[in-house]
Chain A
């Protein structure tokens, strides 16, 4: 796709040939650096996965059971449900597939400078706005990206790109609460986004960042028509395959296929109806059973057995790095690392997975790096050892065990089930834990403060990303207040390696530290799952729960 390969691609290719680089990781790196997915797959000696589900059929309506939320401000969406509706109309610049490989979307190709600070983005020329028929151009893309990075917008894209392209500055206002000047942020340089021609522009950051193509697929990064001022609703312009024709928040949304031709081939469906069934999992299964919907956005564990028994329904699932961890803060009795170790030794993660998540997923290994992460290192599976847990407790000065309390949420149902299962297991080792179930809203107020809590962590593509967010000393989301100098130093080292094998070697040490000294019990890695009618074809569940309907069709 690019004329010359990025030096890192050549280096990565050599490493792969030497057997040092995992093919999957090569694919990810090569595509991020601008090599087309097809070319990257063939360089890696793999064939690009194709969906062999027969020839698509044009026509028909698909009904999706999912919450129907307010859609008015795409750049500030905070829920996947909202983007799953808007995405059909307002597209992204790139698309990260189910295989973790990022492919072009509205962007045709990208090239990164050797230091990964400057990115040249070329747009495809055949993507047209539905209204007006004007091609999607560089001005449109730059307008959207600048708007997302404007503090007045309030987009979560800021968190992703802050270190790369934004700088802080002080406002003249005084914050009455802190008595200090308020701080805001702005683009670090006037050339941060530079238009080259109508279909080409440059993104210039102040630091290296490999994840630009993936950031362009961040869920609020929809490309809106600048003429509409950042708003979205019925009839809104878009480059996508569908048009939003009806929206009633809390009830339903209707999309119809674009008639003037869509750049990406398809769409096959004539119409998509999104029906709000609320949060009750029984209602979801009931709607599927009476064929009032053809697909459910996401399944709940409690209703899974019922859904599995419906003969016309298929359960789709994908392994993710989505989890929840029981983590402790360094206060008595957990200030002693032997007590933290005892907690891990007393846990049977395979049993927790079976009971709490019906075996869907993978058992946890107590370090927060999952098998789906490219740099995962196998440091051995920790089996349950109650005698060892007891011995460690006695050594730490608690021969009669300990009494404590864990805070958790009642929803989603598997979280509470996981806690209950672990509490039963811990009891045998003399760790007697009371469960304090609090409403989600209340839990999110105290999640970084409770001494012992069970917190959900979303899927992130890289292991080092989550380690940096959750376990680095002093990080905003370091909920366990854990601090380990050696860990911090190794983590910084690992983050600096693009080469996955070198990163893996360091990650193995990080995992060991987490097993020895860490604050967490990681019981399981969830598989994400949902349901669809067997007549729905061309659909694959995505680890981020994004749904793309342009490739989906209904079998006649």
Chain B
């Protein structure tokens, strides 16, 4: 176990190093010049060159990368070019917002998907199963931006009962909690649609197992068969998938954040990437990769717990 954790930690560090280098190099290769971007279209080439040198961008890529890694190891993530603040400040603020949104979504998505998936899967091809499956497929197949626009049209423009954007500031009319309703609803419908189908499929398979038939035949009440025997087994496969949703919820909310003007991590990453604000992009990549690797680790450990046959 200790060896496993050590190996995994090393693995994470190596991946982080590789990703930061790749991001650095890719940023270099993509077109556009950060100095030109900052000075605007009317600045002369001399002024652009001047800033370019001032920012140290005329030095070789490897030198700048080594310097960057050195700074990060000392805990200095650099300064954002577009936000003109230390990267750590911007990042923490935006990440905090996204984690809050992600936590609320996760807290809604998981119980909802498990409940619907189990309900659908316990009696295959029942009307309940059909209803839930169709609903889940529809939700999962409408892209977030389309779902968002539908919801805006209904609840904001037509009914006028919810705020259309979520800048996370209370106004006289719209308290902050109401500003969460639409983003959470869009993420939940989209993401739960997928999870429900996964859990249902796993449940269907478990319900066909001999031990379930045995339990039913020996006269155990159906709800106990489901909750005591089937559910735990049915959740082993979707467990990893559920954990993978954490990734999506931290770094994949860019569409929803943009649509609802939510000041989160995804929107920050998009804007930083477009402006070639490399310090922010790198820090964001570090966070995203760490989250991915940690959820994988968590997934492995959880797997072991759920299925005693697995040993690491």
Whether the pair A441, B43 counts as a contact (CB closer than 8 A) is no
Q: CB-defined interface of B164-193 with A at 8 Å, one 1/0 digit per residue?
A: 110101010110000000000000000000
Residues of chain B within 8 A (CB-CB) of A78 are 38-43
Contact B32 A286 (CB under 8 A): no
A441 lies within 8 A of B164 (CB): no
Interface string of B12-46 (1 = CB under 8 A from A): 00000000000000000011110011111111101
Most chain A CB atoms below 10 A, which of B85, B156, B167, B260: B167
C-alpha gap A289/B30 in the complex (Å): 38
Within 8 Å by CB of B167, from A77, A154, A292, lies A292
Q: Are A249 and B84 in contact (CB under 8 A)?
A: yes
Closest Cβ of chain B to A12, distance in Å, is 30
Say yes or no: A250 contacts B263, CB within 8 Å.
Answer: yes
Q: Which residues of B contact A151 (CB under 8 A)?
A: 46-47, 50
Total A residues in contact with B, Cβ cutoff 8 Å: 48
1/0 contact string of B76-112 vs chain A (CB within 8 Å):
0000001111000010000000000000000000000
Inter-subunit contact B261/A276 (CB<8 Å): yes
B46 and A283 within 8 A (CB): no
A287 touches B165 (CB 8 A): yes
Main secondary structure of the interface of B (DSSP, over half): loop
Known: A249-B83, A276-B261. A286 touches B41 (CB 8 A): no
Cβ contact within 8 Å between A280 and B50: no
Q: Does A442 lie within 8 Å of B149, measured CB to CB?
A: no
Contact of A70 among B82, B156, B165, B259 (CB under 8 A): B82
The interface bits of chain B over 244-273 (1 if a CB of A lies within 8 angstroms of the residue's CB, else 0) are 000000000000001111010001100100
Give which listed residue, A250, A286, A310, contacts B152 with CB less than 8 A: A286
- A291 in complex: contacting residue of B32, B85, B173, CB < 8 Å: B173
- Complex Cα distance, B47 from A55, in Å, reads 47
Among candidates B30, B42, B90, residue contacting A441 with C-beta atoms closer than 8 Å: B30
For A276, the chain B residues whose CB sits under 8 A away are 167, 261, 263
Contacts of B259 in A (CB 8 A): 280, 282-283
**In whole Å, how far is B79's beta carbon from the nearest beta carbon of chain A?**
11
Contact A70 B41 (CB under 8 A): no
Determine whether the beta carbon of B268 is less than 8 Å from that of A250: yes
Given the interface pairs A70-B84, A158-B47, A442-B31, the reply to whether A285 lies near B263 with Cβ below 8 Å is: no
**Smallest distance from the beta carbon of B277 to chain A beta carbons, Å?**
11
- B residues 275-311 touching A (CB-CB < 8 Å): 276
Of the residues B36, B84, B148, B157, contact of A289 by C-beta under 8 Å: B157
In the assembled complex, the Cα of A289 lies from the Cα of B161 at a distance in Å of 11
Residue pair A290, B164 in contact (C-beta under 8 Å): yes
By a CB distance below 8 angstroms, the chain B residues around A69 are 82
29 A-B pairs with C-beta separation under 8 A: A72-B84, A76-B40, A78-B41, A79-B40, A151-B50, A154-B50, A156-B39, A159-B43, A249-B84, A250-B268, A252-B167, A275-B169, A275-B261, A277-B167, A278-B267, A279-B258, A282-B152, A286-B152, A289-B157, A290-B162, A290-B163, A290-B164, A290-B174, A291-B173, A292-B171, A441-B276, A444-B32, A445-B32, A446-B31
Chain A residues packing against B (C-beta within 8 Å): 69-70, 72, 76-79, 151-152, 154-156, 158-160, 182-185, 249-252, 275-280, 282-283, 285-292, 306, 309-310, 439, 441-442, 444-446
